[in-house]
Amino acid sequence: MRNKAVLIILCLFLFANITGCSEQKFDGSRISNDSQFILEYSVLNEMKTHEIALEKGDILDVSIESLSGSVDIIVVDTKGNEIYRGNDPESCNFKLTVQEKDTYTFKVTGTKAKGSVSFVKAIN
């Protein structure tokens, strides 16, 4: 009888941990192509990445809206050189000018984040 009670308690404990620990990773929308990377999310608990080939002098319109939680944003070239880093940036809009022709990786990592991040290549 005692073994049965211990088994039931163990099963209930495991069930509670399995169902209670499944935190949602992403709830939102994503647009990613050769000229933009746009994320809008009510939940972001992971890293989202995208690559865009850019020319020297290209301008990116950047928009960050931070409603809750935190995001870290990094834009790097193929050599690992950062052209932008935002560690939990506040909501803002700005332009980012590309200094070298390369393929750039955009990385957005959220922790209980709600908001949006967009990088859109401006038409020259």
The total domain count for the chain is 1
pLDDT at 13: 56
How far is it, in rounded angstroms, from Cα 38 to Cα 29? 8
Asked if residue 103 is part of any domain, the answer here is yes
Predicted confidence (pLDDT) at residue 54 exceeds the cutoff of 80: yes
Average pLDDT over residues 82-90: 97
Asked if residue 2 is part of any domain, the answer here is no
Asked if residue 10 is part of any domain, the answer here is no
Task: Indicate the range of 5-19, 30-44, 69-83, 107-121 predicted with least confidence.
Answer: 5-19
Q: What is the domain-level CATH number for residue 71?
A: 2.60.120.380
Asked if residue 82 is part of any domain, the answer here is yes
How far is it, in rounded angstroms, from Cα 36 to Cα 17? 39
Question: How does pLDDT run across 1-10, given as a tens digit for each residue?
Answer: 666 655 566 5
Beta bridge partners of 28: 41
Asked if residue 31 is part of any domain, the answer here is yes
Average pLDDT over residues 46-58: 98
Q: Whole-number mean pLDDT of the chain?
A: 90
How far is it, in rounded angstroms, from Cα 59 to Cα 96? 6
Asked if residue 19 is part of any domain, the answer here is no
Q: Residue 19: pLDDT band by 50, 70, 90 thresholds?
A: very low
Residue 67 lies in domain: 24-121
Asked if residue 44 is part of any domain, the answer here is yes
